[in-house]
Structure 1
Amino acid sequence: MSINKHSILTLISLFFVLIFLLINGLFWIALEHFAREYEIQQHHRFHFEPQERMLLDHKPFPIFAPPPPPPLSVSLKSSALFPIWIVFITIDLLILAFYGFLLKKLSPLHRLKEAIIHFQEGDTKLNVPIKSKDEISQITSEFNQVLEKIAALKEARSLFLRNILHELKTPIMKGSLTADCLNESIERERLIQIFSRMNYHLDEFSKMEQFSSGEWKLNLQEYRFVDILDHACDILLCDKKSITIKGEDSILIINADFELFAIALKNLIDNAFKYSDETPTLIILSHSIEICSVGEPLSDANHLFSKPFNRTYESSVNGLGLGLYITNSILNKHGFKLKYQYNSGLNCFKIILNS
C-alpha cells in the first residue's frame, strides 16, 4: 500500500520521528559533554588535590603517587548520571505515549475517509461509528446525518422519476397505438414520429438522471461520426439536408458512448435551429466538430457551461442553460472539451476531441 505524503497521519508521524531523533541526539551530545567534564574533574581531583595537600602540610615530597583517573566507561556508569537517564527515558516514553494518543484520536479520520469513498461509489447506507465526543466525532456525527438525508432524497427522487415515467409512458403508448390504427396518411406518419420522439425523450430523461447521479457507466466504442450525426438527426426529427455539413465525407472515428454523445450533439444542433433563422453549419475536422449559426452572442456568464441554469439569460422562452450544461457534462465525461466563440455574427460551438 502506497503512503500518502500529504496525509495528516503521515505528517504527524514524520514530525514525531524528527522530534524523537532530535531529543535523543541532543541527549547523547549532552551525555558525552557531561562525561568529558566529569573526566576532567576526576583528572583534576586525582592529580592536583594531593599536590595542594602536600604544599599545605609543608611536605617536601609526596609519599604516594596519585591513582590513575577512572576510565570513561566507569564515569558513564557513575551514579551521578542516573537522574539524567531517568529524565531521558521519561521524555521518550512521554513522546511515544503522546504519539499513540494522537494516532488513536485521528484514526476516525481514516474510517471517515473510507466512508466518503464508499459514498462516492454509490453506497449511501453507511454509519461510521462514534466512540467519543471530540471535534472529529462531531464531524462524523454530522456526516452520518448528511448521509441519511442524501439517501432519503435520492430514494425520493428515484421514486418520483419512476412515477413520472410511468404516468407519461401510458398516454404516449396509447397515443402511439391509436396512431397505428389510423389510415395511411402523412398525418399518421407524423403522429407516429411525434409519439416515438416523446417516448425517446422519456428514455433520455432516465439516462440523464442516471448520468447526473453518477450511475451511468460509459460504454465506449469506436463509431463513425456520421453515424452518430444520423442518430442525432433522428432524435430531432430533422433532415440532414436542413444542415449545411462540411466534411461529411470525413472518416472521423470517435471513441464514445453512442447514446450520450448523440444527445450532446443533438442539444447543440437543436440550439442552432432554435436561436437562428438561417441554416446552421456543421464542420467536421480531424480533431474537432464545430456547429455554427447566425445569432446574437452569448453573455459572458454563459461561456463556462458549469451551471445548469443561468438566470441572466434563461427565461420562459429561452433555453441555452440546461442543454449546454448537459452537453458540457457529457463531453467532459468523455475527456472532450466544449468551446464557444463568436465571430462575424456566428455563434460557434466547438467540440475538441483531443483535449
Structure 2
Amino acid sequence: MIKNISISTFVNIIFTLAFISIFITFAMFINYDKQKHELSLQNRYELIAENFLSTFQSHPTFETLLALYKKFQVIPIEEREEKLEIIKNAQELTITQNFLGTYRVYKYNDVYYIYVQQFGYNVMLKDSTNHNYSMAFIVIGFTISLFTFLFLYEILKRKLHPLKVLNKQLIAFSNGNKDIKLNYTSNDEIGTIAKSFNEAINIINNQSKSKDLFMRNMMHELKTPITKAMFIAETLNDDNKRETLQRAFKRMDDIIKELATVEKLTSKNTMIFKEESSFFKIYTKTLDLMMVNPENIAAKIRDFKFEVDTYMMSIALKNLIDNAIKFSPNKKAIINASKEKIEISSLGEPLSHELSYYTEAFSQEEKRSDGFGLGLYIVKTVVNLHGFKLEYKYEGGRNYFIINMMK
C-alpha cells in the first residue's frame, strides 16, 4: 500500500507522525516534570518539618526559631483564626507521623503551609517562596520545536514542489500535449530529470514530425499513380486482367486510406466531432464505404440515436464488418445493434491471442496475406475516443466483436 501513495502524501504522513511524536513526548515530559516537582516539594517540606520537630525537643529560644524561619524561608502564622481558616478550607496534601511528632502540608490560594505539631508546640509555617509549577520554559521549548518542525516541513514541500509540477506535466504529455517544456534550472536531481525530460520531448516531437511528413508525402505520392492506374485498367479488354488489376489497385487505395486514418488518429491534434446521429445513418454510410453486396450482411438493427462522430464510427464499423466477411468461411457477417451494444459476428476459428494483441498497430494473424493489420487498431482507437469499450468473445463456432456503449 505504501508504494502506491504519492511522495507528497508520504511526506505529509511522515511529518504528521513526527508531529504526533513531538506532542506525545512533550506531554510525557510535562507529566514526568510535574512528578519530579511534587517529589522535590515533598522532600523540602519533610526536611523543614523534621528540622523543626528536632529543634522543639531542645526547647529552642526565639532567636533559634527565627534562624530556622530565615534558613527555610518560612513565615509563622500567629493568628488563631487564620490557622483555623487554612485548616478548614485548604487542600491537605500530606500528613506524616513519626517518633518526633506530626506534620501536615496544606495548599491554600496557591500558597503552601506546613503545620508542625509536637507536645507543647503547635506551629503553622507559610512557605514564602513561590513553588507553583510553571510550564513557561516547556511551552517555550515546545513552541521553538514546533516552529523548527514547520520550517523544515515548508522547506521540504518547496523542494518537492517542482517534482509535483513535473508529474503533472508528464501526465499532460502522456495525454497528448507535446508542447511542454520545464523551466527548472536547478542542478539537483529534479533539475537533471527536468533537463532529460525536455530533451526526450524534443526527440519525440522531432520523430513525430518526421513520421507525419513521411506519411503525408508517401500517401500523396502513391495516390496519383494509383488513380491513373485504375483509369488505365478500365481500358483493358481482357475482363480477367481488368478485374485483377482493379482489385489490386482498389486494395492499394484502401491501404492508403487506412494509413491516412491511422495518421489522423495518432496525430497530437486528434479530435472527434460528435453530433446526434441515428445508428441506421452510420450503418448506411458504412455500406457506402465498403462497397460490398448487402446480401453478405445480415442486419438486426433496433435503430437508436446517440452522440457520435459519424465518419469515425463508420470507419470503425466498416473495419469490423470487413474483417468478419474476409475471414469467415462463408463470407458472411451478422450485425446486431441496440442502444447498449453493437455486435458483429461471423463463422470462423477463434483468435489465437488476446484481443489486445490485435489492437496494436500492424498486428495480424500469420495466415493473413493482405493488409497491414491496422483494422482493429483503428477500431479500438475510435471506440476509446468515444468512451466506449471494444470486447471479444468466441461462442458456438462464431467470433463476436462487440462495441459496448454502456458507460
Instruction: Normalising by structure 2, report the TM-score.
Output: 0.69
Shift of 1:317: 0.7
Q: 1:19 to 1:192 in 2, by over 3 A?
A: same
Q: Give the gaps of 5 or more residues in structure 1.
A: none
Shift of 1:153: 0.9
Q: 1:289 to 1:28 in 2, by over 3 A?
A: closer
1:328 and 2:380 correspond: yes
Q: 1:11 to 1:334 in 2, by over 3 A?
A: same
- For each residue in 1:283-305, what CA deviation from the matched residue of structure 2 results, as whole angstroms up to 9, or x when unmatched? 32423333222222221434664
Whole-angstrom distance in 2 between the partners of 1:193 and 1:224: 32
Shift of 1:203: 5.1
Whole-angstrom distance in 2 between the partners of 1:32 and 1:150: 63
Aligned-residue CA RMSD (Å):
3.8
Match among 215, 236, 241 for residue 161 of structure 1: 215
Q: Which has the larger radius of gyration?
A: 2
1:148 and 2:207 correspond: no
**Aligned-partner SS, 1:246:** strand
1:228 is matched with 282
> Aligned pairs, how many?
337
1:122 and 2:177 correspond: yes
Shift of 1:264: 1.1
Shift of 1:193: 11
1:274 is matched with 326
Contact 1:193 1:237 in 2 (8 A): no
**Aligned-partner SS, 1:156:** helix
- For each residue in 1:239-266, what CA deviation from the matched residue of structure 2 results, as whole angstroms up to 9, or x when unmatched? 32332x2325x32334321111111111
**Aligned-partner SS, 2:127:** coil
**Aligned-partner SS, 1:347:** strand
Shift of 1:12: 1.9
Shift of 1:112: 0.6
Q: Give the gaps of 5 or more residues in structure 2.
A: 70-75, 77-124
**Aligned-partner SS, 1:283:** strand
1:307 and 2:360 correspond: yes
Q: 1:34 to 1:59 in 2, by over 3 A?
A: farther
1:54 is matched with 52
2:127 is matched with 68
1:247 is matched with 300
2:91 is matched with none
Whole-angstrom distance in 2 between the partners of 1:304 and 1:197: 24
**Aligned-partner SS, 2:126:** coil
Shift of 1:151: 1.1
Contact 2:166 2:182 in 1 (8 A): no
Between 1:301-310 and 1:138-147, the stretch displaced more is 301-310
- For each residue in 1:158-184, what CA deviation from the matched residue of structure 2 results, as whole angstroms up to 9, or x when unmatched? 1112211321233355567x57x98xx
Instruction: Normalising by structure 1, report the TM-score.
Output: 0.77
Q: 1:69 to 1:236 in 2, by over 3 A?
A: farther
**Aligned-partner SS, 1:278:** coil
